[in-house]
Structure 1
């Protein structure tokens, strides 16, 4: 059974700047609290690019190998797991607002199988969305402060 989690958030930077931070897996530990480590496997992020990523979430350490499917600067990035305790597909779509800021629409489709035991799928969805809410709010605050200091 697939669990789909979605969330839209705003960042006080252009879509190009938002993309550079969010769609570069090497930046994940900088802005995602659950991300412990990332290792790029075959060069810079691009379609077909692969990386290993480790998360610590819900008391579990999870390691995945991921491949980038789409990488369109300032517009869209999409990725999927090749290996790990369960499968997922993630997408970030970037839209420029009239004031030059960005709305990012995040979608995450997870096939957890029995990995989380008897945890209801609705609770897993809530944990994922809350994690992105916290991380994106912290990122927006940091980027806003950096913009004011320029």
Structure 2
């Protein structure tokens, strides 16, 4: 089981941060490992929406589809892999963190298929490092606006 969380405070209003981060089309701009994204269902995002991703992780190219399972605009978004090599759930939450500032939490949980518990323990620190870098990139992009 992998359960990894990272967070940051972004000096932009919550609706702006949440709107940008929740839009899958923006993912390649701030996620270093995501190469491409396309909708399998008609946008915009809502519970039941499906979005396909191509990513690079641990030297492999991964293709997977996320399905939106919970979505509260401006507050939270939860997606689960509908298919792919790593059964995962990704959750974003956004909270006000003072005047015009937003705390964003990114959490990934799951049980990678074909991996032992030990492999999960090795993956978690790598995932955490990547998630922190991704949130730092998101912060940089949004604060430069």
Question: Shared topology, TM-score over 0.5?
Answer: yes
- Per-residue CA deviation, residues 50-98 of structure 1 (Å, 9 max, x unaligned), is 0111110110111111100112111000010111112001111110012
Q: Does 1:38 align with 2:44?
A: no
Q: Does 1:138 align with 2:129?
A: no
Separation in structure 2 between the aligned mates of residue 91 and residue 142 of structure 1, nearest angstrom = 20
Shift of 1:119: 6.2
Runs of 4+ displaced beyond 6 Å: none
Counterpart for residue 53 of structure 1: 53
Separation in structure 2 between the aligned mates of residue 79 and residue 141 of structure 1, nearest angstrom = 24
- Matched residue SS, 1:9: strand
Q: TM-score, with normalisation over the residues of structure 2? A: 0.92
Counterpart for residue 125 of structure 1: 124
Q: Does 1:110 align with 2:125?
A: no
Q: Does 1:66 align with 2:66?
A: yes
| RMSD of Structure 2 on Structure 1 (CA) | 1.6
Q: TM-score, with normalisation over the residues of structure 1? A: 0.89
**How many pairs does the alignment contain?**
144
Counterpart for residue 78 of structure 1: 78
- When residues 119 and 33 of structure 1 are mapped into structure 2, their CA distance, relative to the original with a 3 A threshold, is farther
What 5-or-longer segments of structure 1 have no aligned partner? none
Counterpart for residue 13 of structure 2: 14
